[in-house]
Amino acid sequence: MAKDADFDKVSLLLHCDGANGSTNIVDSSPAGHVVTAYGNAAISTAQGVFGLPSLAFDGADDYCTLPDVAALEFGAADFTVEFFIRTTQTLTYACPMGRDTGSFPVGAWAILINGNGSGSIQLWNASYSQGSVHLSTSASPPLNDGAWHHVALVRNGSAWALYVDGTSRATNTWAGTMADVALPINLGRDPGYGRDFSGHLAQVRITKGLARYTANFTPPTEPFPMAGSFSGTVMSASGAPAARLVRAMREDTGAFGGSATSDAGTGAYSIPATSEGAHTLIAYPGTGEDLPALLLRGVTPV
Note whether 89 and 184 are same-domain residues. yes
Quick check: is 199 in a domain? yes
The whole-number pLDDT of residue 160 equals 98
Q: What is the signed CA dihedral for 74, 79, 85, 91, rounded to 10 degrees?
A: 50
- Pick out the chain residues at pLDDT < 70: 1, 288, 290-294
The whole-number pLDDT of residue 291 equals 56
Note whether 62 and 188 are same-domain residues. yes
The whole-number pLDDT of residue 115 equals 86
Note whether 247 and 183 are same-domain residues. no
The whole-number pLDDT of residue 272 equals 83
Quick check: is 213 in a domain? no
The whole-number pLDDT of residue 290 equals 65
The Cα-based distances of 290 to 110, 177, 241, 268, 283 in angstroms read 54, 56, 17, 20, 11
Note whether 184 and 238 are same-domain residues. no
Note whether 137 and 81 are same-domain residues. yes
Evaluated on CA atoms 144, 146, 195, 52, the torsion sign reads negative
Note whether 63 and 170 are same-domain residues. yes
Quick check: is 47 in a domain? yes
Note whether 202 and 70 are same-domain residues. yes
Note whether 269 and 203 are same-domain residues. no
Note whether 184 and 259 are same-domain residues. no
Contact predicate 242/286, CB 8 Å: yes
Domain with 98, as residue range(s), is 7-208
Quick check: is 249 in a domain? yes
Note whether 202 and 239 are same-domain residues. no
- Read off the CATH number of the domain in which 50 is found: 2.60.120.200
**Tell me, what DSSP letter sits at residue 126?**
T
Q: How many domains does the chain have?
A: 2
The whole-number pLDDT of residue 238 equals 80
Note whether 99 and 157 are same-domain residues. yes
Max Cα distance, the chain (Å): 71
The Cα-based distances of 281 to 150, 240, 260 in angstroms read 36, 19, 11
The phi, psi pair for 71, rounded to 5°, reads: -65, -20
